[in-house]
């Protein structure tokens, strides 16, 4: 396997423009002859499906939810970045590019990130034209705010529901194409395998989640916009259905998986309440604009927060990172919270929490202003915890939120299997080892609206595609394997529920491959995961049949993939002997406890190639070169 990034030659600033001109076009009459399969209907998949439909391609779009409007992009709260520089505070495409490369701790590809920053401005125009009700000023212009890790105000938002509004924009564009007959939408349909014919991605195998029917679909290209794999930890801020299956199945068919150990732990989530916890809820990072993070100075201080005098509080982010303070990037803020709690100064049940306090902001701005800015978030917090954050500080703790790793793609967003495109969170490309706040929505929409629709034409144009159907040997083999797996899961008839296995796997990973990792812990996990996987296949209990709506069976298939994928994550984390971004190896830190990168040996993308079950995967390296942003130690002090 060769990793060819296909970065066009020449100057960064006009690279994308020139590339768009150099790429092949598909004539309007020929577009409808090409069928494109798009899996996932979130910001990336939904936007791509709508746009390819508008262009005249014949599109099939699949999602596991009952409607494309429910993809997990819907839950993003804070905002979307764009280099519009409307507030005239010194922002530019170059600065957004620079911030993103630096924020990613120099593990992202410069050319991709520059294009992302360029395209960001078109996204806002597009969304406004669709009727996305962004926040506005009294004069009628768009409002901006600053967001975690940025010193300019470049974040556009729609209250605390930006993801919802952007997704509903993409969804309405998608439904317009469904009505126009260019997109066939397949909800409640889960992709269970990729069909590769003559070395090209040509189809997928799906399961109808209502009838259980296993079906095949064919096209000239397959696009995965299937999101991240954060749920491998069981507890995360992802929706319950989010899963790694589509990307992992593609990996097993030959697509390289890049940087699986790069996971983002978000600093501001509601702490775990008990063993029954089924998911974690994020509190938007925008809260850090006005909230101050603190813990008691004294260990084991159990006084109510209001009884702890100012002098006995440690505003540790302001203390350690005076220039960014409470707005320090996510990885840094998360780790600092963990350190405070590990030090015995955590608050709330189990001591796994820190305060996010709005008392000063309420004093300064008044309760009404705070309510206007964060009202819905405060309500959500109160609904979940039964505490009123206008009166007592919120309690927060880090939680798994986003995965920077994903299938490896080149500049054209194509994976190592020709014809397999990967967009949004599902690919690895733009965020390096750490994603900045409000950049996920930007990347999803950039890929879906603007990048993929251009690059897929270059692939489809000038290629001949032989007709393929379900009778092809590769298709029959994939279907047989999918059916066999379903049958095996149902045949185990063991004693433990799927969730109990998932929870155990999650705890293991959180312990050994979470916010801080080290070689010993990773080796322990690498030994334990195969054992747990064997127990799963020996003892899992899945009731019912494959020919009906069977939610246990759906979960079992996903957890079976997590059981394999978790090993890949730990292997990747063990191989990367450095700390960078969200990947913090305790062996590699500065005396002050900051991440210590090793650019000499690890300035590369680790892309893993599947080599067969029970055989270690092969590590392929794509070297990262920084010509425009000088490699520097990230400092937010």
Partner 1 sequence: MNLTLKVWRQPSGEARGRLVSYAAQGISADMSFLEMLDVVNEGLIEKGEEPIAFDHDCREGICGSCGVMINGMAHGPMAGTATCQLHMRSFQDGDTIVVEPWRARAFPVLRDLVVDRSPLDRIMQAGGFVSIATGNAPDAHAILVPKEAAELAMDAAQCIGCGACVAACPNASAMLFTAAKVSHLGLLPQGQPERDRRALGMVTQMDLEGFGGCTNYGECTTACPKGISLENIARMNRDFRTAALRARPESAGAGGAP
**Which residues belong to the active site?**
330
Nearer to partner 1 by Cβ, of 103 and 163: the residue is 163
Among residues 1, 5, 178, 392, which is the contact residue for partner 1, using CB under 8 A? 178
401 in contact with partner 1 (CB under 8 A)? no
Contact partners, residue 619, CB within 8 Å, separation at least 6 = 575, 606, 607, 608, 609
For the bound state, the minimum distance from the C-beta of residue 606 to partner 1, rounded and expressed in Å, comes to 31
Nearer to partner 1 by Cβ, of 500 and 589: the residue is 500
For the bound state, the minimum distance from the C-beta of residue 112 to partner 1, rounded and expressed in Å, comes to 20
Give buried/exposed letters for 161-170 (b at 16+ CB in 10 A, else e).
bbbbbbbbbb
Residue 70: CB atoms within 10 A of its CB come to: 19
Among residues 39, 101, 150, 185, which is the contact residue for partner 1, using CB under 8 A? 185
For the bound state, the minimum distance from the C-beta of residue 548 to partner 1, rounded and expressed in Å, comes to 6
Nearer to partner 1 by Cβ, of 83 and 595: the residue is 83
For the bound state, the minimum distance from the C-beta of residue 444 to partner 1, rounded and expressed in Å, comes to 14
Interacting positions 578-637 with partner 1 (CB under 8 A): none
For the bound state, the minimum distance from the C-beta of residue 138 to partner 1, rounded and expressed in Å, comes to 5
Interacting positions 97-156 with partner 1 (CB under 8 A): 122, 124-131, 133-142
Interacting positions 558-587 with partner 1 (CB under 8 A): none
Task: Identify the CA nearest to 45 among candidates 447, 455, 457.
Answer: 447
Residue 295 near residue 345, CB atoms below 8 Å: yes
243 in contact with partner 1 (CB under 8 A)? no
Interacting positions 271-310 with partner 1 (CB under 8 A): 273-274, 276-279, 281-282
Interacting positions 463-492 with partner 1 (CB under 8 A): none
Task: Identify the CA nearest to 205 among candidates 190, 216, 197, 213.
Answer: 216
234 in contact with partner 1 (CB under 8 A)? no
Structure tokens at 540: 């899992």
Among residues 44, 50, 559, 570, which is the contact residue for partner 1, using CB under 8 A? 50
Among residues 35, 144, 155, 164, which is the contact residue for partner 1, using CB under 8 A? 164
Contact partners, residue 243, CB within 8 Å, separation at least 6 = 226, 229, 231, 558, 561, 562
For 131, 511, 519, the CA distances from 588, given in Å and listed in that order, are 48, 18, 11
Stretch that binds partner 1, among 1-9, 388-396, 542-550, 577-585 (CB under 8 A): 542-550
549 in contact with partner 1 (CB under 8 A)? yes
For the bound state, the minimum distance from the C-beta of residue 622 to partner 1, rounded and expressed in Å, comes to 30
92 in contact with partner 1 (CB under 8 A)? no
- In whole angstroms, how large is the CA radius of gyration of the chain? 24
Nearer to partner 1 by Cβ, of 127 and 569: the residue is 127
Nearer to partner 1 by Cβ, of 538 and 621: the residue is 538
**DSSP-assigned beta bridge partners for residue 152:** none
Interacting positions 207-226 with partner 1 (CB under 8 A): 210
Q: How many CA atoms lie within 13 A of 4 on its CB side?
A: 7
Secondary structure (DSSP) of 148-208: TT-SS--EE-STT-HHHHHHHHHHHHHHHHHHHTSEEEE-SEEEEEEEEETTEEEEEEEEE
């Amino acid at each position: 396997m060769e990793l060819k990034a296909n970065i066009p030659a020449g100057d960064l600033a006009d690279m994308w423009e020139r590339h768009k001109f150099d790429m092949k076009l598909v004539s309007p009459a020929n577009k409808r002859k090409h069928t494109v399969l798009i899996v996932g209907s979130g910001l990336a998949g939904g936007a791509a499906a709508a746009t390819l439909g508008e262009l005249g391609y014949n599109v099939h779009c699949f999602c596991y939810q009952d409607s494309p409007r429910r993809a997990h992009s819907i839950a993003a709260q804070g905002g979307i970045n764009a280099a519009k520089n409307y507030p005239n505070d010194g922002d530019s495409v170059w600065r957004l590019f620079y911030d993103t490369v630096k924020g990613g701790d120099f593990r992202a590809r410069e050319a991709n990130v520059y294009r992302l920053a360029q395209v960001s401005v078109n996204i806002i125009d597009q969304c406004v034209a669709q009727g996305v009700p962004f926040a506005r000023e009294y004069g009628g212009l768009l409002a901006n705010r600053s967001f975690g890790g940025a010193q300019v105000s470049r974040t556009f938002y729609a209250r605390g529901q930006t993801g919802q509004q952007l997704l509903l924009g993409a969804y309405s564009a998608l439904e317009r194409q469904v009505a126009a007959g260019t997109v066939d939408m397949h909800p409640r349909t889960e992709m269970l395998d990729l069909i590769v014919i003559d070395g090209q991605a040509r189809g997928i195998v799906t399961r109808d989640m209502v009838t259980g029917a296993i079906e095949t679909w064919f096209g000239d290209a397959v696009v995965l916009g299937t999101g991240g794999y954060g749920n491998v930890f069981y507890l995360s801020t992802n929706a319950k259905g989010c899963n790694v299956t589509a990307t992992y199945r593609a990996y097993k068919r030959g697509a390289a998986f890049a940087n699986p150990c790069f996971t983002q732990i978000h600093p501001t989530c509601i702490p775990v309440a008990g063993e029954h916890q089924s998911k974690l809820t994020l509190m938007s990072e925008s809260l850090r604009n006005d909230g101050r993070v603190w813990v008691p100075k004294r260990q084991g201080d159990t006084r109510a927060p209001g009884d702890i005098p100012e002098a006995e509080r440690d505003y540790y982010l302001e203390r350690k990172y005076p220039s960014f303070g409470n707005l320090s990037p996510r990885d840094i803020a998360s780790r600092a919270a963990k350190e405070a709690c590990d030090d015995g100064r955590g608050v709330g049940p189990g001591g796994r929490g820190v305060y996010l306090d709005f008392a000063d902001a309420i004093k300064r701005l008044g309760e009404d202003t705070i309510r206007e800015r964060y009202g819905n978030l405060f309500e959500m917090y109160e609904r979940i915890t039964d505490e009123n954050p206008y009166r007592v500080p919120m309690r927060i703790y880090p939680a798994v939120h986003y995965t920077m790793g994903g299938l490896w793609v080149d500049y054209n967003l194509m994976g190592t299997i020709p014809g397999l495109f990967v967009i949004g969170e599902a690919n690895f490309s733009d965020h390096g080892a750490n994603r900045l706040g409000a950049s996920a929505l930007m990347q999803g929409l950039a890929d879906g609206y603007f990048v993929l629709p251009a690059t897929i034409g270059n692939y489809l144009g000038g290629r001949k595609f032989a007709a393929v159907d379900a009778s092809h040997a590769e298709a029959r083999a994939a279907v047989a394997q999918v059916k066999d797996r379903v049958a095996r899961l149902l045949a185990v008839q063991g004693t433990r529920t799927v969730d109990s296995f998932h929870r155990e796997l999650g705890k293991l990973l959180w312990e050994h491959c979470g916010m801080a990792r080290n070689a010993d812990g990773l080796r322990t996990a690498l030994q334990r995961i195969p054992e747990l996987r064997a127990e799963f296949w020996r003892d899992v209990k899945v009731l019912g049949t494959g020919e009906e709506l069977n939610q246990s069976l759906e979960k079992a298939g996903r957890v079976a993939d997590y059981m394999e994928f978790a090993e890949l994550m730990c292997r990747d984390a063990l191989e990367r002997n450095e700390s960078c971004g969200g990947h913090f190896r305790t062996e590699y830190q500065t005396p002050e406890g900051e991440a210590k990168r090793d650019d000499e040996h690890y300035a590369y993308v680790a892309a893993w190639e599947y080599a067969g079950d029970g055989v270690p995967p092969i590590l392929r390296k794509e070297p990262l070169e920084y010509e425009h942003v000088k490699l520097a130690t990230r400092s937010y002090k």
